[in-house]
């Protein structure tokens, strides 16, 4: 009879394969959504009464998916003039990574995971906009479930 080599799954500390797959899927989703969140922060971090930021304030290069993609990456600078835009480089990415890690290790799956992921994404954008201009845009507040719980529809806002 041959001696059996220790199998990874027999080890008490072995991480289940399904957990590893969930971590990888969540990391890929987080990497895909981070530029969109950075773009939303840059666009909405303006004073009250001002239009959303769609261009670089220095050189008027369009920002976002139809313009300068460097500005909405982790570099956080205009690709043409080098002006820093939005939160510091890597700040949004760290927030997304921490949120994603918390969601993965919470043990949720399916629709609750998606719902809390949406809530975390909108919350990250709101946090960075609030830090930049001390206000919360109504457009983004509609994405937060707590707003509907606090205020009946059609009641000011």
Q: How many alpha carbons lie under 13 Å from residue 136 in its C-beta half-sphere?
A: 13
Residue 116 lies in a domain: yes
Query: How does pLDDT run along the chain (157 residues), one tens digit per residue?
Result: 555 555 555 555 655 677 778 778 888 888 889 999 999 999 999 988 888 888 888 988 888 777 778 878 888 888 888 889 889 998 999 999 999 888 888 888 888 888 888 889 999 999 999 999 988 887 777 656 554 444 444 544 4
63 phi/psi in degrees, rounded to 5: -110, 155
Per-residue pLDDT, 151: 47
Tell me whether residue 11 is in a domain. Answer: no
In a domain, 85, yes or no: yes
When divided into structural domains, the chain yields a total of: 1
DSSP label at residue 82:
-
Residues 6 or more apart whose Cβ sits within 8 Å of residue 152: none
Let me know if residue 109 belongs to a domain: yes
Does the residue 86 lie in any domain?
Answer: yes
Q: How far apart are CA 36 and CA 31, in angstroms?
A: 10
Residue 10: inside a domain, yes or no? no
- Quick check: is 126 in a domain? yes
pTM of the model: 0.74
User: What local confidence, expressed as pLDDT, does residue 10 receive?
Assistant: 57
User: For position 138, what pLDDT does the model report?
Assistant: 75
CA–CA separation, 44 and 87 (whole Å): 12
pLDDT given for residue 109 in this prediction? 80
Angle between helices 17-44 and 91-105 in degrees, nearest 10: 140
Its domain, for residue 68, covers 24-148
Provide the pLDDT for residue 70: 81
């Amino acid at each position: 009879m041959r001696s059996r080599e220790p199998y990874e799954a027999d080890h008490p500390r072995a991480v289940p394969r399904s957990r590893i797959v969930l971590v990888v899927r969540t990391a890929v989703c987080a990497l895909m959504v981070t530029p969109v969140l950075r773009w939303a922060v840059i666009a909405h971090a303006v004073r009250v009464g001002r239009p959303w930021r769609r261009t670089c304030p220095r050189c008027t290069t369009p920002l976002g998916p139809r313009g300068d993609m460097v500005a909405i990456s982790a570099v956080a600078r205009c690709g043409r003039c080098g002006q820093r835009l939005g939160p510091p480089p890597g700040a949004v990415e760290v927030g997304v990574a921490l949120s994603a890690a918390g969601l993965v290790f919470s043990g949720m799956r399916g629709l609750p995971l998606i719902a809390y992921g949406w809530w975390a994404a909108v919350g990250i954008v709101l946090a960075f906009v609030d830090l930049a201009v001390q206000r919360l845009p109504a457009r983004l507040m509609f994405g937060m479930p707590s707003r509907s719980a606090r205020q009946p529809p059609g009641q000011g806002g």
